[in-house]
């Protein structure tokens, strides 16, 4: 049977991309990343993709007249490569109807909070500011809203300290395991 073909979308550091790439390489995932898409030319994730030999495509959304224009291009690239699932991994952009329509129920995201609490780009800091004691991570199908869509998996972190860096590391460690678990569910159609 052919290995499941993944595309990963990222905007920043790419530690989640790397966790998925490692799991593909060591057999925990019966999948391969056939394209890394990055909307921030110069982002660290592009160096990581180079190290793993993943084809990457970096683009600046401002160079396109609309979201529909660059998503039309992305859909074509994904279809040409036979992509089965799109994994958003720190892709800090709302996905539009062009991409959602072409990959219905096949786009997933990871977010560093127990959704539906603390959506957005500063979830960990927002939760700390709110006085949260049980933090977490969520994977979910993607819809047209910010960090919205049906939840697939969640993991919790109990933390009562005050070191945001330590907390962020704990959350990232959970993310890296949770994303692999979720992708395995997608591969085995158990969601």
Active-site positions read 111
Smallest distance, ligand GAR to C-beta of residue 11, A: 7
- Chain length of the chain: 191
Start-end of H helices in the chain = 15-25, 44-52, 67-80, 97-102, 123-130, 164-187
Q: Which is nearer to ligand GAR, 28 or 72 (CB)?
A: 28
Among candidates 47, 61, 159, 71, which has minimal Cα distance to 114?
159
- Alpha carbon 6 to its chain centroid, in Å, reads 11
Minimal distance in Å, beta carbon 2 to ligand GAR?
Answer: 27
Nearer to ligand GAR, 111 or 159 (CB): 111
- Whole-number minimum distance, CB 188 to ligand GAR, in Å? 23
The DSSP result for 156-190, as a single string, is: EEE-----HHHHHHHHHHHHHHHHHHHHHHHHTT-
Q: CB 80 → ligand GAR: shortest distance, Å?
A: 25
Nearest-angstrom CA–CA distance, 105 and 160:
36
Which residue lies nearest ligand GAR, judged by its C-beta?
90
**Nearest CB to ligand GAR, comparing residues 74 and 88:** 88
Give the footprint of ligand GAR on this chain (CB under 6 A). Answer: 10, 12-16, 89-90, 110-112, 121, 123, 147, 175
> Considering beta carbons, is residue 20 or 34 the nearer one to ligand GAR?
20
């Amino acid at each position: 049977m052919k290995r499941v073909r993944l595309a990963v979308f990222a905007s920043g550091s790419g530690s989640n991309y790397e966790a998925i790439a490692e799991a593909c390489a060591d057999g925990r995932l019966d999948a391969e990343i056939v394209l890394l898409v990055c909307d921030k030319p110069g982002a660290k994730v592009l160096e990581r993709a180079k190290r793993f030999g993943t084809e990457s495509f970096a683009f600046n959304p401002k160079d396109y007249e609309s979201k529909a224009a660059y998503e039309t291009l992305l859909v074509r690239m994904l279809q040409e490569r036979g992509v089965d699932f799109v994994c958003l991994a720190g892709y800090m952009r709302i996905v539009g109807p062009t991409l959602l329509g072409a990959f219905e129920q096949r786009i997933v995201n990871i977010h560093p909070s127990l959704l539906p609490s603390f959506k957005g780009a500063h979830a960990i800091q927002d939760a700390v500011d709110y006085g949260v004691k049980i933090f977490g991570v969520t994977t979910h199908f993607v819809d047209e809203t910010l960090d919205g869509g049906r939840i697939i998996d969640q993991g919790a972190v109990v933390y009562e300290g005050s070191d945001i860096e330590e907390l962020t590391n704990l959350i990232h460690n959970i993310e890296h395991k949770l994303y692999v678990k979720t992708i395995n569910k997608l591969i085995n159609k158990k969601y």
